[in-house]
Amino acid sequence: MSHVRLPAAPPISVAGLRAGYGRIEVLHGIDLHVPAGSVFALLGTNGAGKSTLLKVIAGHVRATAGDVRIGDVPVGSRSVEHLARQGVCLVPEGRGIFPNLTVRENLRIWTYASSIPLPEVEERTYAAFPRLSERRQQAAGTLSGGEQQMLAISRALVSDPSVLLIDELSMGLAPLIVAELYQMVAKLAEGGMTVLLVEQFVTTALAVASRAAIMANGRITGEGTPAEMADAALSAYLS
């Protein structure tokens, strides 16, 4: 099977998707189209299945029914590693960084799976996040929450992904830092990638997104522009 990379910023199509863990079905028939090159926000209450949907798209969880495609690539027939090499990058909830390694060592590990050499990776990362430059010899686990999240996003700079899947960037962070991080995501997206993000900070997510969908109990309950989704998103969280 070839490891030809996906074209820049492909669309993501999900049709009739069912998936879960063991015998428990979490996604009960998801239809979703993420347009090529868009920043798409996935909103919804706790346990709605948002993270599970991202995991299916990245190949970590397998569908039990339906079809998921990134561009022309059927996700179900590809391994996680294959999808990663093709340019699918998942920044998981909980950051996915190595706490005992320094900033620089974390970057070096990610370059193993990347075609970009370490000096260039460092240059890109420190240009995007000058704060990380000052802390390059510090253990990642001792960085502040916001700095750890900057490092987690740096993974996307390292692998030059076509598709960036981001789960709850805001986890435990102050709103100002969250806004700053999303500005960086918007900048990355302009460079040519499709971004699907899960977020509890509705207003911040809708500010960077060009489209949004709301999930509840394993189903999509609404989809549209941020303006169309704002009221529905807020009432979903209040209910």
Which two three-digit tokens encode residue 193?
A: 């990638």
Cβ-contact 182, 13 below 8 angstroms: no
Number of other CB atoms surrounding residue 134 within 10 Å: 12
Residue 81: C-alpha distances to residues 3, 70, 78, 86 (Å): 10, 15, 8, 9
Is 51 an interacting residue with respect to ligand ATP (CB under 6 A)? yes
Is 48 an interacting residue with respect to ligand ATP (CB under 6 A)? yes
Is 237 an interacting residue with respect to ligand ATP (CB under 6 A)? no
Q: Which amino acid is at 178?
A: V
Q: Which of residues 57-96 bind ligand ATP (CB under 6 A)?
A: none
Least distance between ligand ATP and beta carbon 137 (Å): 33
Please choose, out of 40-48, 75-83, 143-151, 183-191, the segment that lies near ligand ATP by the rule CB under 6 A. Answer: 40-48
Of positions 44, 146, 161, 226, contacts ligand ATP by CB under 6 A: 44
Is 26 an interacting residue with respect to ligand ATP (CB under 6 A)? yes
Of positions 3, 4, 16, 21, contacts ligand ATP by CB under 6 A: 21
Distance of CA 55 to the CA centre of its chain: 10
Least distance between ligand ATP and beta carbon 61 (Å): 8
Residue 143: C-alpha distances to residues 94, 99, 103, 104, 135 (Å): 14, 9, 9, 13, 8
Least distance between ligand ATP and beta carbon 95 (Å): 14
In DSSP notation, 24-57 reads EEEEEEEEEEE-TT-EEEEEE-TTSSHHHHHHHH
Is 169 an interacting residue with respect to ligand ATP (CB under 6 A)? no
Q: Which is nearer to ligand ATP, 51 or 170 (CB)?
A: 51
Q: Which is nearer to ligand ATP, 44 or 226 (CB)?
A: 44
Tell me the C-alpha distance between 101 and 126, whole Å.
17
Least distance between ligand ATP and beta carbon 213 (Å): 12
Per CB under 6 A, residues contacting ligand ATP are 21, 26, 44, 46-52
